[in-house]
Structure 1
């Protein structure tokens, strides 16, 4: 039996008529809808919904996209990603300002359903141990994105989008594309942060104290691993290379999976104001896990490494974890949010 949330006519942003590609809320809502299209594709597959019974097509056809490729997990044959192509003549005729992308590559997150748990939870474990780049889903997604960007005649005609663990895949792919000199417009919804959710603590002094202690410990370990010397920036330093890429990052402070991104950026600013910005920069560029891996001879970057971002924080009340972590919140017309650009210079 289909969930009502899979039905675009009941839960989708059908109020977006006409679509305004210069409107950031419209762009965000469309990106989120295309990610939901991947979730519904997988549900259609499992329930054998085909033809008129399929619910997934409405999630992209409403926005004039067509499905060009489904990304399939070789182990459980589940659908974890999709590539969409804008169906109107491209470039978009008579359009002033920002236009639609020619292609969107979208990735779903974990589905807690029979038949999906094994592979989805395995991917979650690879995220936790900072080994996501070794996963078949990341490798298949990376290849699909490279091929799509080539077909689109450049990264300016393609978007990346993902939710939950799918957001982590999109983040890693986006970072790799930047290192190849290509910046993709990227939408990251509820992207996991591999750290205790300090942001959920209500006591501001305690929260700041914990973050400060964590920064000092992480920076100290990074310096110790570097022979007692403060790591010096290099021209090819990942933090410097990635700083010009500014993805759109969407978090809910009531979601313990992604909420720490709020503190990740705010704490960096506070460290600068306190006059200890050097410690903040070192700790931001490292994690204890990545330091240990590098000490063992394994080149490793923190999974959360993100120097710059357009951060959107959902301030609307959420009824429980499922709503706080869900993709559906991001296209609500009455969404209350804070928005801020964090750019590393």
Structure 2
């Protein structure tokens, strides 16, 4: 039986009958809706909803997108991503239409239903926590799809979008492309942060002490394990500025709030060089001697949006549907990584 969450007519952003592509709230809502379309595609598959019974298409057709490719997992054949092409009607003469993407590559997060769920989603979630997502067949399929579209259409015509585990997939793809000089517009909804949720500690003075202590320990370990390295991987990645959307009540993504705020605090107390080392390393990776790649969840730059609207429970705080609500109370801030030439 279909859940109400799958019906666009019930929960979709119906208020966006006309999209202003210069409006960041409209852009965010459309990107989130396209990600939701991937979730519903997979639930259509799981529940064998076909033809007139399928519910996914309104999530993209409402905004004049067409589904051009489903991305399927080699392990369990689940649909984990979609590539959409923007096909506006000839009568659409809105002045901002030139700012619309030609293609959007969207990735869903974990699908867990009472009667069916994909074990592969859970396995990939675990691999994310140990920085192993880049070795999976699902990511290899994703990366190839992104490269193919960039080669065919150009970076300026492509958006990446993802939610939860899907945002980790989009983040990794975006990072890989940025290392080659290709900067893709990227929307990361509730991206997982692979670290203890220090942000949830109510005593903010204690939180600050823990963060400062952690920074000094991380920086010390980095020097002991990696030595003094002149090359800073964050310098290469810093021009790429993905849009991060997090909720303080979401234990999975809320740590990004403190992660970026702490950088500024360390600079104010004169500990910038310590934080430059700490911010691009993780204690877990250093202890395990996994130093060949930077941890996936660590980012040099981001446009961080925090949903300050009340969230009654974790499910809503981590859910995708909050990001197309027209009445959000949000705080937005740009964090641009800066470095010193030595």
TM-score above 0.5: yes
Q: Give me the whole-angstrom Cα distance separating, in 1, the residues matched to 2:226 and 2:106.
A: 38
In structure 2, the residue corresponding to 1:83 is in which secondary structure?
strand
**1:80 touches 1:108 (CA, 8 Å); kept in 2?**
yes
Q: Please point out which of 300, 309, 318 is paired with 1:316.
A: 309
**2:64 touches 2:89 (CA, 8 Å); kept in 1?**
no
Task: Tell me by how many angstroms 1:93 deviates.
Answer: 6.3
Which residue of the partner structure matches residue 299 of structure 1?
A: 292
- Match runs of 1:57-96 below 5 Å: 57-88=57-88, 95-96=95-96
- Match runs of 1:1-345 below 5 Å: 1-88=1-88, 95-96=95-96, 99-113=99-113, 114-152=115-153, 154-227=154-227, 230-232=228-230, 234=231, 237-293=232-288, 295=289, 299-345=292-338
CA RMSD of aligned residues (A): 1.6
Q: Give me the whole-angstrom Cα distance separating, in 2, the residues matched to 1:89 and 1:320.
A: 40
**1:222 touches 1:231 (CA, 8 Å); kept in 2?**
no
Q: Give me the whole-angstrom Cα distance separating, in 2, the residues matched to 1:105 and 1:149.
A: 11
List per-residue Cα deviations over 1:232-256 (Å, max 9, x = no partner).
Answer: 3x2xx32000000001000001000
Task: Tell me by how many angstroms 1:290 deviates.
Answer: 2.6
TM-score by length of 1: 0.94
Q: Give me the whole-angstrom Cα distance separating, in 2, the residues matched to 1:156 and 1:329.
A: 27
- Cα pair distance change 1:62/1:252, threshold 3 Å: same
Task: Tell me by how many angstroms 1:300 deviates.
Answer: 2.3
Give the 4+ runs in structure 1 shifted more than 6 A. Answer: none
- Cα pair distance change 1:260/1:94, threshold 3 Å: closer
Q: Give me the whole-angstrom Cα distance separating, in 2, the residues matched to 1:117 and 1:219.
A: 39
In structure 2, the residue corresponding to 1:130 is in which secondary structure?
coil
In structure 1, the residue corresponding to 2:316 is in which secondary structure?
helix
TM-score by length of 2: 0.95
Q: Give me the whole-angstrom Cα distance separating, in 2, the residues matched to 1:61 and 1:133.
A: 32
List per-residue Cα deviations over 1:133-177 (Å, max 9, x = no partner).
Answer: 00111110000011111221x100000000001000000000000
Q: Give me the whole-angstrom Cα distance separating, in 2, the residues matched to 1:80 and 1:96.
A: 30
List per-residue Cα deviations over 1:167-198 (Å, max 9, x = no partner).
Answer: 00000000000111111000000000001101
Q: Give me the whole-angstrom Cα distance separating, in 2, the residues matched to 1:253 and 1:98.
A: 34
**1:179 touches 1:242 (CA, 8 Å); kept in 2?**
yes
List per-residue Cα deviations over 1:201-256 (Å, max 9, x = no partner).
Answer: 111100101111111110000011134xx433x2xx32000000001000001000
Task: Tell me by how many angstroms 1:53 deviates.
Answer: 1.4
Instruction: Flag structure 2 segments of 5+ consecutive residues without an equivalent.
Output: none
In structure 1, the residue corresponding to 2:159 is in which secondary structure?
strand
Q: Give me the whole-angstrom Cα distance separating, in 2, the residues matched to 1:47 and 1:68.
A: 22
List per-residue Cα deviations over 1:63-122 (Å, max 9, x = no partner).
Answer: 0000000001121111000000001379x8674586110000000001123543410110
Instruction: Flag structure 1 segments of 5+ consecutive residues without an equivalent.
Output: none
**2:20 touches 2:97 (CA, 8 Å); kept in 1?**
no
